[in-house]
Chain A
Amino acid sequence: QSALTQPASVSGSPGQSITISCTGTSSDVGDYNYVSWYQQHPGKAPKLMIYDVSNRPSGVSNRFSGSKSGNTASLTISGLQAEDEADYYCSSYTSSSTWVFGGGTKLTVL
């Protein structure tokens, strides 16, 4: 199972919006609405930010939103804040009844 494809890095200024893409195949992202997004600050455990493509867990800011089109899912962060600077990983359930992560995207807030 190959990792999902994410850009290595994205950046934005405070207040701006950014979007991180996550491209898979018809055996994972394209076939299931089970895409999740995780935020990881240095030295910390991952934190769930979006699940089932576009749902936010309780306590996660509504500045975070998710979507999907075909084999590509996206995470959008609006109104960028300094605390959003972190690594972001997408994940999808697969047709093999396993899970696969993306390679991760480093978000820099300029």
Chain B
Amino acid sequence: EVQLVQSGAEVKKPGESLKISCKGSGYRFTSYWIGWVRQMPGKGLEWMGIIYPGDSDTRKSPSFQGQVTISADKSISTAYLQWSSLKASDTAMYYCARRIGQGTFDIWGQGTMVTVSS
């Protein structure tokens, strides 16, 4: 079964760092781009960025440039999303998703809830 399994919910304080993960299984992880999507509480989906685990080629939405780092470790089929200094406004559900073709994200992780509060 093709699936993406994300790390568990996190509760952090403003200014702290965080790295969440997305592990792929059931397919060749290095052959498909992995995207990250933010969903703030009660709001819509926002595309953050994407990485190709085969060579770590990365693209980010202008809205998230300088705000997050996207990386991958192909040896363990895992993509990451990290922050160096969290803000309260980073509180959201974060999803990873596999890209197929040019415009489609076909498999989604279950989401990681990040709560940033003092």
9-residue interface stretch from A11-19, A75-83, A98-106: A98-106
Give Cα A91–Cα B61 distance, bound, in whole angstroms: 14
Assess whether B103 is in contact with A99, with CB atoms less than 8 Å apart. Answer: yes
Instruction: Contacts A32-B102, A46-B95 given; indicate if A98 touches B47 (C-beta within 8 A).
Output: yes
Q: How many B residues, CB 8 Å from partner?
A: 24
Assess whether A35 is in contact with B105, with CB atoms less than 8 Å apart. Answer: no
Question: In chain A, what residue has the closest Cβ to B97?
Answer: A46
CB distance from A2 to the nearest CB of B (A): 11
Q: What 0/1 readout, one digit per residue, does chain A (9-42) give for beta carbons within 8 Å of chain B?
A: 0000000000000000000000010111010100
Among residues 34 to 82 in chain B, which have CB atoms less than 8 Å away from a CB atom of chain A?
A: 35, 37, 44-47, 50, 59, 61-63
CB distance from A20 to the nearest CB of B (A): 13
Give Cα A100–Cα B47 distance, bound, in whole angstroms: 6
CB distance from A71 to the nearest CB of B (A): 15
Partner of B103, one of A3, A40, A46, A52: A52
Question: In chain A, what residue has the closest Cβ to B100?
Answer: A51
Assess whether B104 is in contact with A34, with CB atoms less than 8 Å apart. Answer: yes
What are the 9 A-B residue pairs with the smallest beta carbon separation, nearest first?
Answer: A34-B103, A93-B103, A51-B104, A104-B44, A45-B108, A101-B45, A99-B47, A34-B102, A103-B44
**Given pairs A1-B63, A46-B37, 5 additional interface contacts (CB within 8 A):** A32-B103, A48-B108, A51-B100, A98-B47, A101-B37
